[in-house]
């Protein structure tokens, strides 16, 4: 596909990025854009529509976060197969030549959503002008492959203060998204490893390692997360875990289990834990638990973090903290790989963090999501005794597990008949071991409190009547 023709309304109250997002989303739902089809690059589409590239990037990243498209490193952006999502019915002609109205989704409980309406546009715009106003030609030269030192310095400081991670800027690598980080990690680690994942798990990471040729396996979890005793029964030497907020189950791993995993990694040379610190910024009960990396006295944890969830998906900046032994491998063998994030964007983010804007934005979003979280739980009180609610201590989604005889497919169908989109847990189960459980994910980041109340009322009638 070379272009996407759409009529944008520059003076509309709806932001341009949201107009682009809605147009592409609707065309995917209606089948006008087929699964597997390549979308135009953000640069070419921005030029065609005569809008800024960042506007198109925001639209694309919202579509990525909701599972409509995916970005494949070095290849482009492609439409995903969304046949399991709600798809609009084809037009039907009725008497008198009138067309039957199409159904549409009124409420979408996407677990991948980010509230972009609260993005600090004015602050970001000012910082962008400040950085570009410095008139430094060096900004447009190829930067440090590891990431600009100033940004790595403030990230190291943030990780120490907020996540208990004691690392140096020299241990941090900045890159364009977690997919790139995993590709880079593949180059650093080499092929001679077997990777164990939690089950159910973050499918994107599972697919990445599988496509990169690694033998992969899964370890079922108890209520505390991945069990080290079962992990020992595999011959894996790398374990990919999300201890702060496991996705999709929402488990917050307790200290004892974290220590057990660290002990497993410390038993043999060459074993590592990859810690994906998913949703660590949003916790609603008790004090934040330091990252697993914060307890890593033996340098066995590879730490992954991103600004996509806490700021905006279009920021496209992730960071990786490597143990010193693996950083030596990177310095010796991988420094030739060019940086994937522009120096300008890195400096804007650096100033955003240094000037306190990031902390203030996080505090606002925590309060916002906490309000929606509390409203959601309060609305779900009529479901008590009908289902089990979990994942409520952190993150921006809840998990409902029903034991009243209804299947997951039936729950999804009944909700979508009422124009509400919910998402099944089975799509995250790599081994099919949970196919007999009826569990659905309900994300609330994209929904206002009034919308949550209205949507839950609809689900109550659909599921409990």
381 and 458 co-located in one domain: yes
8 Å CB contact between 339 and 147: yes
Domain boundary (304, 333, 355) is at 355
Furthest C-alpha separation in the chain: 76
8 Å CB contact between 253 and 243: yes
Three-state DSSP class for 2? coil
Domain boundary (355, 385, 412) is at 355
Q: Does 103 fall in a domain?
A: no
Q: Does 444 fall in a domain?
A: yes
160 and 142 co-located in one domain: yes
Q: Does 234 fall in a domain?
A: yes
> pLDDT value at position 242?
95
Q: Does 117 fall in a domain?
A: no
| Number of compact structural domains in the chain | 3
Find how far residue 248's CA is from the centre of its chain.
11
> pLDDT value at position 237?
96
Q: What CATH number is attached to the domain comprising 14?
A: 1.10.10.10
Q: Does 16 fall in a domain?
A: yes
185 and 286 co-located in one domain: yes
- CA 145 to CA 341: how far, in whole Å? 9
Rg (CA), the chain: 23
Token pair 């609603």: residue: 284
β-strands 238-241, 272-276: how paired?
Answer: parallel
325 and 406 co-located in one domain: no
The domain in which residue 77 lies consists of: 1-90
59 and 138 co-located in one domain: no
- CA 395 to CA 84: how far, in whole Å? 24
67 and 154 co-located in one domain: no
Q: Which of 378, 273, 318 is nearest to 61 (CA)?
A: 318
What is the mean pLDDT for each group of 10 consecutive residues in the chain (465 residues)?
Answer: 72 81 86 87 86 86 83 85 52 39 75 86 92 77 91 96 94 94 95 94 91 93 93 96 91 92 96 90 73 94 91 87 96 92 93 95 92 95 90 89 87 94 88 75 93 96 89
First to last CA, the chain: 46
> pLDDT value at position 101?
35
153 and 63 co-located in one domain: no
Dihedral (CA of 104, 110, 112, 114) sign? positive
- CA 264 to CA 358: how far, in whole Å? 36
158 and 209 co-located in one domain: yes
**φ and ψ at 441, to 5 degrees?**
-100, 135
204 and 297 co-located in one domain: yes
Q: Which of 66, 110, 80 is nearest to 313 (CA)?
A: 66
161 and 272 co-located in one domain: yes
> pLDDT value at position 287?
64
Q: Does 350 fall in a domain?
A: yes
341 and 401 co-located in one domain: no
What single-letter DSSP state applies at residue 283? B
> pLDDT value at position 391?
87
Domain boundary (41, 75, 90) is at 90
- CA 402 to CA 72: how far, in whole Å? 36
> pLDDT value at position 250?
87
234 and 201 co-located in one domain: yes
Q: Which of 101, 74, 81, 5 is nearest to 37 (CA)?
A: 81
| Alpha helices (runs of H) in 317-389, residue ranges in sequence order | 324-333, 343-354, 357-379
Structure tokens at 330: 């990177």
């Amino acid at each position: 596909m070379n272009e996407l023709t759409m009529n944008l309304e520059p003076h509309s109250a709806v932001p341009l990025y949201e107009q682009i997002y809605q147009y592409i989303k609707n065309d995917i739902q209606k089948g006008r854009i087929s699964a597997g089809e390549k979308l135009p690059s953000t640069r070419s589409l921005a030029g065609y529509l005569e809008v800024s590239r960042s506007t198109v990037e925001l639209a694309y990243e919202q579509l990525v976060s909701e599972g409509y498209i995916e970005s494949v490193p070095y290849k482009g952006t492609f439409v995903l197969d969304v046949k399991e999502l709600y798809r609009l019915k084809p037009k039907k002609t009725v008497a008198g030549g009138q067309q039957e109205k199409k159904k549409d989704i009124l409420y979408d409980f996407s677990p991948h959503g980010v509230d972009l309406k609260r993005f600090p546009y004015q602050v970001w715009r000012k910082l962008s002008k400040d950085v570009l106003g410095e008139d430094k030609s060096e900004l447009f030269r190829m930067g440090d492959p590891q990431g600009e030192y100033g940004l790595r310095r403030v990230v190291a400081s943030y990780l120490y203060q907020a996540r208990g991670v004691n690392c140096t800027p020299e241990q941090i690598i900045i890159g364009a998204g977690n997919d790139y980080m995993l590709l880079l990690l593949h180059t650093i680690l080499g092929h001679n490893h077997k990777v164990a994942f939690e089950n159910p798990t973050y499918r994107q990471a599972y697919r990445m390692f599988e496509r990169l040729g690694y033998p992969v396996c899964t370890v079922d979890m108890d209520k505390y997360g991945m069990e080290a005793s079962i992990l020992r029964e595999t011959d894996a030497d790398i374990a990919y875990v999300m201890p702060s907020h496991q996705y999709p189950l929402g488990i917050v791993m307790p200290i004892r289990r974290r220590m057990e995993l660290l002990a497993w990694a410390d038993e043999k040379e060459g074993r590592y834990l990859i810690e994906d610190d998913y949703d660590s910024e949003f916790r609603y009960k008790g004090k934040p638990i330091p990252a697993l990396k914060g307890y890593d006295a033996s340098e066995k944890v590879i730490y992954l973090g991103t600004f996509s969830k806490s700021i905006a998906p279009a920021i496209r900046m992730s960071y990786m903290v490597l143990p010193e032994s693996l950083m030596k491998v990177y310095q010796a063998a991988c420094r030739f790989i060019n940086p994937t994030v522009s120096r300008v964007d890195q400096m804007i983010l650096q100033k955003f963090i240094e000037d306190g804007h990031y902390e203030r934005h996080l505090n606002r979003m925590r309060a916002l999501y906490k309000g929606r979280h509390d409203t959601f739980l309060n609305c779900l009180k009529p479901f008590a005794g009908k289902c089990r609610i979990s994942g409520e201590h952190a993150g921006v989604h809840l998990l409902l597990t029903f034991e009243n005889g209804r299947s997951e497919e039936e729950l999804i169908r009944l909700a979508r008949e009422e124009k509400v989109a919910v998402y099944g847990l089975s799509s995250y189960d790599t081994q099919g071991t949970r196919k007999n459980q009826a569990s659905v994910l309900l994300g609330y980041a994209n929904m206002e409190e009034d919308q949550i109340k209205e949507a839950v009322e609809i689900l109550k009638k659909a599921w409990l009547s």
